[in-house]
Structure 1
Amino acid sequence: MKVVIAGGHGQIAQHVERLLAARGDEAVGLVRNSSHIADIEASGATAVLLDLERASVNELAEVIRGADAVIFAAGAGPGSGAARKLTVDRDAGILLADAAVQAQVPRYVMISGKGADKGGQGEADEVFGIYLDAKKAADDDLISRELDWTIVRPGVLTNEVGTGRVTLAPQVEWGKVAREDVAAVIIEILDKPESAGWIVELVAGETPVTEAVRLLAR
């Protein structure tokens, strides 16, 4: 399986890349900064230099052409302002969907965020509200596509070591989840064609990752 990860230098992305490489799959990480190439390669993936905020649909389509799946793992990050929430979390996610259609890559896994279903209306933190609006717009766009999409909405992300146990359902209570466990769920979802059309929320829990995905696939 060949999988292209947009936002390949992010911590979830690097966990995904390591898991794919460890089982013999081909992972390609897209990065906008050449200083991150070594990190991608250390994960066992191939790095491609491409700025999602500047790339055209044609440029991105050429990079992902021939892939079995794409994963949107890019994000402007907590220290960025409102403008980059729109150009990365919204526009880059939509750009990847445009490119997937053009390159005929049907499988698209979106790493979104809990709360994206409602957007940022009523949020006291203006920038966080814009972030949720951006995620909602990208998710809504993807849902409208004739792609085999899956949307995963994690809770509050942590850098703790993954436990391998999660709570995964269409709706869950607010909670935290390790980035490593998010990556493990993404890998399981990639292996389940029946997960196309899922919109799921994800936090830490007591169910082993493999079992959590299997139960949803029944």
Structure 2
Amino acid sequence: MRTVIAGGHGQIALALERLLAARGDRPAGIIRRPEQAQDLVAAGAEPLVLDLEAATAPQLAALLDGADAVVFAAGAGPGSGADRKNTVDRDAAVLLADAAELAGVRRYLMVSSMGADAHAHHPADAVFETYLRAKGAADDAVRARTTLDWTVLRPGRLTDGPGTGLVRLAPDTGRGSVDRADVAAVLAALLREPGTAGQTLELIAGNATIDEAVAVAAGHDG
């Protein structure tokens, strides 16, 4: 299975690439800077160099040739301003959807954020408000695509622990945190579970194993 990951040098993306490579899949990561390529190679992924803020849909579609799925894990990062929240977190996600349609790739996993909403109101932090609105608008745009088998994953507060393998995955989990390693493991499981297509799922640490949580989300709870 070939999976192309936008934002291929991020922490979640690198963890996902390692998981996919270990199980015999063929991950590829889209990166903006060529000097990041070696980190992807070390993770077992094919580096694909393209600036998503400057690329066209046909240019991106060319990198998706032969792909079975795409994952949007890109982000402007915590130090970026409001403008890049829109050009990366919103526009690049939509660009990936456009490119997936052109390339005939149906499966699309979106790494979003808990609280994402195109109409979010957060007067205490204008940049964070823009971020939530950008993520929400991207989610809405992807969910409107009838040609895509999309799943939107909305993790809670991200932490850097080693991962517990125990999560709560549901349309509404309530607030909480989750290790990036567990987010990557959930994404890897979602890629193998088409029954989760068409769902928006929140993710926090919990009591269910990842396989159990994904199976329940897909309706395979026995």
Length-normalised TM-score, structure 2:
0.96
1:7–1:117 distance in 2 versus 1, CA, 3 Å: same
Shift of 1:118: 6.0
Amino acid at match of 2:76: A
SS of aligned partner of 2:44: coil
Correspondences of 1:56-135 after superposition (within 5 Å): 56-117=56-117, 119-135=119-135
* Identity fraction in percent: 56
Aligned to 1:176: 177
SS of aligned partner of 2:116: coil
Aligned to 1:163: 164
Aligned to 1:189: 190
Q: Deviations over 1:164-209 (max 9, x none)?
A: 0011110111111100000110111111111110100001111111
Aligned to 1:148: 149
Q: Distance in 2 between matches of 1:65 and 1:196?
A: 22
Give the 4+ runs in structure 1 shifted more than 2 A: 117-120
- Higher deviation after alignment, 112-121 or 28-37: 112-121
Q: Distance in 2 between matches of 1:70 and 1:119?
A: 26
Q: Is the 8 A contact 2:118 2:137 kept in 1?
A: no
Aligned to 1:49: 49
1:6–1:34 distance in 2 versus 1, CA, 3 Å: same
Q: Distance in 2 between matches of 1:47 and 1:166?
A: 30
CA RMSD of aligned residues (A): 0.9
1:119–1:172 distance in 2 versus 1, CA, 3 Å: farther
Q: Distance in 2 between matches of 1:216 and 1:97?
A: 23
Gaps of 5+ in 1: none
Q: Distance in 1 between matches of 2:17 and 2:29?
A: 8
Q: Deviations over 1:115-146 (max 9, x none)?
A: 01464224421100000000011000001102
Q: Is the 8 A contact 1:185 1:213 kept in 2?
A: yes
Confirm or deny that 1:32 pairs with 2:29.
no
Q: Distance in 2 between matches of 1:160 and 1:67?
A: 31
Q: Distance in 2 between matches of 1:118 and 1:59?
A: 28
Shift of 1:162: 0.3
Aligned to 1:3: 3
Gaps of 5+ in 2: none
- Aligned residue pairs total 218
Q: Is the 8 A contact 1:171 1:201 kept in 2?
A: yes
1:179–1:79 distance in 2 versus 1, CA, 3 Å: same
Q: Is the 8 A contact 1:61 1:100 kept in 2?
A: yes
Q: Is the 8 A contact 2:118 2:135 kept in 1?
A: no
Q: Is the 8 A contact 2:114 2:202 kept in 1?
A: yes
SS of aligned partner of 1:3: strand
Q: Is the 8 A contact 2:121 2:129 kept in 1?
A: yes
Q: Distance in 2 between matches of 1:54 and 1:72?
A: 16
Q: Is the 8 A contact 1:169 1:200 kept in 2?
A: yes
Shift of 1:216: 1.4
Length-normalised TM-score, structure 1:
0.98
